[in-house]
Amino acid sequence: MVIRDILVSVICYLLHIPFRFAPRSASLDTPNSILIIKPCCLGDVLMATPVIAALRQAFPRARIDFAVGGWSRAIVENNPHLDGLPVGRHGLVDCGPVGSGSRYSWREYLDLVRRIRAGGYEACFVLARSPLISLLPYLGGIPHRVGLDSRGRGFSLTVGVPVAGLKHEADLYLDTVRAVGIEVNEPRLEFYPTGEDRRHVAEILSSASQVPLVVIHPAGGSNPGMTLSAKRWPPQRFAALADRLIEERGAQVLLVGGPDDGPIAAAIKDGMRQEPCDLTGQLTFGQLGALLERCDLFVGHDTGAMHLAVAVGAPVVAIFGPSDPRMYGPYGEKSVALWHDVGCNPCLLRGRWDTACRRFRCIEAVTVEEVWQAAAAFL
């Protein structure tokens, strides 16, 4: 893998040469149409939402669209800062499998190029490090191309933002708009549940008599082409925490997760003295956002659900292990990230982690007492 990375970097630096002599501009006047490209994944697309808001504020009359894959579509399909398209809806361009972590063919890649070209965009912001993703707006005929230039991979961009140093991903994405002179004021993650999502959650909570409401998301770490099981805190620790929240704070604890997370929820319930409300596999992403809007606390890992909780304004206690909270932590003031340096972490770098690791010392270094203290401070 290291040899492959070096080879890709060398090829990209060589490809810089023909693009170096093309006209470049570091300013963006008043484009009539803008495309943002961020195909995947849930948390990453949520961290891209401040870019949408910044561009809307800077260009209130422009058409702003977002290219995203089906896995992450729910994050932005109700975003009011995006516009509709004749070839799509809700201001979205379907990336298909391109850039979503799964294999795709050249035909699928060129189909995406054609969809982008059909939009007639004047400017594009690429919030991905892949050279093939960065090449899309060039092939799609977009004259002004701004994006991340990680180790030379942004060779086809007219304005490349270097990816260096330790910086939160949301701030790194915002550097692309800053690079063309756009001022960013009070950025935050954004998510907008539908009215139907909120009505559904209101029905679920109609019989909930206990407050505070604490949502626990014990799974996560799964995206197309990758499952990061090392991100998950042990179920027995969630069980101990949930019991304490119920017994000492009188909380209503709600377990949430995807359709495949039932075994994790079952392990937590088996280890508890009290009875939580198990909503695992019962909520869409929009309904989960509506639920998190109404909760008093969210406890979970470095997952899309954690970033969703931040986006709707819920207080967050995030448990970190292989990933670095300085880069991927909750991007909000009402939050705390718990993480310990155990000598081999962070090992989640450039979307990869040490798959040979089965000790999970990093995530298990966070104790129940630490999480309880952080949760109690919010409650």
Q: Are residues 25 and 173 in the same domain?
A: yes
Out of 3-12, 149-158, 283-292, give the one with best mean pLDDT: 283-292
Q: Are residues 229 and 344 in the same domain?
A: yes
Angle between helices 131-139 and 106-118 (to 10 degrees): 40
Beta pairing partners, 216:
255, 299
Q: What is the pLDDT of residue 87?
A: 42
Of 158-167, 175-184, 214-223, 331-340, where does mean pLDDT reach its minimum? 214-223
φ, ψ for residue 369, nearest 5 deg = -60, -40
Which among 178, 204, 238 is the end of a domain? 178
- By the 10 Å C-beta count (0-12 exposed, 13-18 middle, 19+ buried), 240 is classed as buried
Does the residue 368 lie in any domain?
yes
Q: What is the pLDDT of residue 342?
A: 77
Q: What is the mean pLDDT of residues 90-107?
A: 89
Q: Are residues 111 and 21 in the same domain?
A: yes
User: Cα separation of 249 and 190, whole Å?
Assistant: 30
Q: Are residues 164 and 261 in the same domain?
A: no
- By the 10 Å C-beta count (0-12 exposed, 13-18 middle, 19+ buried), 309 is classed as buried
Rounded to the nearest 5 degrees, what angle is found at the Cα of 146, between the Cα atoms of 86 and 13?
125
Q: Are residues 60 and 91 in the same domain?
A: yes
pLDDT class of 86 with cuts at 50, 70, 90:
very low
Structural domain for 64, as ranges: 2-178
Does the residue 190 lie in any domain?
no
Does the residue 186 lie in any domain?
no
Q: Are residues 17 and 132 in the same domain?
A: yes
Q: Are residues 164 and 49 in the same domain?
A: yes
Q: Are residues 270 and 302 in the same domain?
A: yes
Give the model confidence (pLDDT) of 12-33 as tens digits: 666 656 666 555 555 678 899 9
Count of structural domains, the chain: 2
Which among 151, 178, 205 is the end of a domain? 178
Does the residue 304 lie in any domain?
yes
pLDDT class of 88 with cuts at 50, 70, 90:
very low
Beta pairing partners, 124:
35, 145
On whether the CB atoms of residues 311 and 189 are closer than 8 A, the answer is yes
Q: Are residues 117 and 238 in the same domain?
A: no
Give the model confidence (pLDDT) of 36-47 as tens digits: 999 999 999 999
Q: What is the pLDDT of residue 125?
A: 98
Does the residue 10 lie in any domain?
yes
Does the residue 31 lie in any domain?
yes
Give the model confidence (pLDDT) of 287-330 as tens digits: 999 999 999 999 999 999 999 999 999 999 999 988 899 999 99
Q: What is the CATH number of the domain that holds 344?
A: 3.40.50.2000
Does the residue 183 lie in any domain?
no
Does the residue 261 lie in any domain?
yes
- By the 10 Å C-beta count (0-12 exposed, 13-18 middle, 19+ buried), 104 is classed as middle
User: Cα separation of 90 and 99, whole Å?
Assistant: 20
Q: Are residues 259 and 338 in the same domain?
A: yes
Give the model confidence (pLDDT) of 344-366 as tens digits: 787 766 555 566 665 678 889 99
Give the model confidence (pLDDT) of 109-126 as tens digits: 999 999 999 999 999 999
